[in-house]
Amino acid sequence: MDGFMAAAALLPPMLRRSAMALDPAERAVCEEIRLRRGQVGTVLMAGREYGLGTGPVTERELLAVVDTATGASMHAAGEQLRRGFLAAPGGVRVGVCGTAVSGPMGMESLRQISSLALRIPRAVPGCADGIWPALTADGFTSTLIVSPPGAGKTTLLRELIRRLSGAGWRVAVADERGEIADAWQGEPAFDVGPHTDVLTGLGKAQALGILLRGMGPQIVAVDEAADPSDTDAILAAAGCGVAVLATVHGAPEGPESPALRALLTSGAFRRRVWVESVDGVRRYEVEALPCA
C-alpha cells in the first residue's frame, strides 16, 4: 500500500471518498491530510492547503480516525499520545492536537481532540543520487540532515539508509515513531536495505544504547533530534566509534534550535545536508563541517 492509500484508509467513509476523488497526479504529490474540528478537511500539496470539498469535520470523525489508527485501543497508544502523535500502519504519522492533561512529567494525555495531521510517507528511490558521491567519496562519516518541518528530511534519511545498507554497511535504525521503516509484524514495509536492523517504538536514548550493545552497527540512524536527551544519546553513539546519520529541524537562515546548535558545536558531525522544498521540488546541498 502506498503512503496516500495508507492515510486515506484511516479516514471515515465521507472523508475517504473525498480524498480518493483526487486525481492520481494530486495523490502523488499530497504531503498531508489535515482535519480540524468545525473546519473543512484539507490536503497539503506543494506547501499549500486545498479543501477536500466536504462539510466541516466533526468530533466523531476525528475520533474515528484515532480509533482506526490505534486499532480501537487508544489506551494502548497512551505513550504516543503523550508525545502528540500516533504511529499508524503504512508508516503514516498522525499528529494530534486537543486539550492537554498535565501532570508531574508534563503532558500525560490528550482529550477533546481538535485537529489531526496525517503525514503521508513516501519512498523516493534515487532522490539522493545528486549528493551520494559527496557523502561517500572518502567513506561515509557522521552526517546531519537539516530542514524545516515537512521539507523531506525523513524521505532523504530513508533513502540514504537504503543505499548505505546496499553498499555493505551495517546500519541500525532507531525508528521511534515507525516512520522510517514502518516495520509491520517484524518486516519493514519500506526498503531500508539488506544489512539494516530496525528497533521501533522506543525513545532514541534507550534505543541507541540497545542497538549499539546488541547489533554491532557501523552506522546508526535516527530521525528528528529534538531535545537534550536526544542530542546526548546521539553524541554518546558518535563517541562509540560508529558513524551517525541524523535529522534535525533547522533552516539556512534564522536562529538555530538548541538541538541543532548542540549537534553542530559538538564536532561529531563532518557533513551537513541542507534540505529545502520550493514549490514542491526538493533541493539538497552538502556542506563540510569543521572538526572539533
Residue 90: CA count within 13 A, CB half-sphere: 20
The per-residue pLDDT for range 32-77, each reduced to its tens digit, is 999 999 999 999 998 889 999 888 999 999 999 998 988 766 665 6
The owner of cell 492536537 is 97
- Do 157 and 241 lie in one domain? The reply is yes
- Do 191 and 277 lie in one domain? The reply is yes
- Do 143 and 268 lie in one domain? The reply is yes
Q: 164 CB contacts (<8 Å, ≥6 apart)?
A: 140, 171, 193, 219, 245
The owner of cell 529545502 is 276
Most confident segment among 155-169, 185-199, 251-265, 274-288: 155-169
- Residue ranges making up the domain that contains 103: 3-119
Grid coordinates standing for 197?
536492523
Q: Which among 264, 137, 238 has a CA at the least distance from the CA of 274?
A: 264
- Do 109 and 149 lie in one domain? The reply is no
- Do 263 and 138 lie in one domain? The reply is yes
pLDDT at 70: 83
Which CATH number characterizes residue 64's domain?
Answer: 3.30.450.90
Query: How much of the chain exceeds pLDDT 90, in percent?
Result: 55
- Do 108 and 162 lie in one domain? The reply is no
For residue 12, pLDDT over 90 is answered with yes
Which CATH number characterizes residue 154's domain?
Answer: 3.40.50.300
Domain total for the chain? Answer: 2
The answer to whether residues 115 and 35 touch, using CB atoms and an 8 Å cutoff, is yes
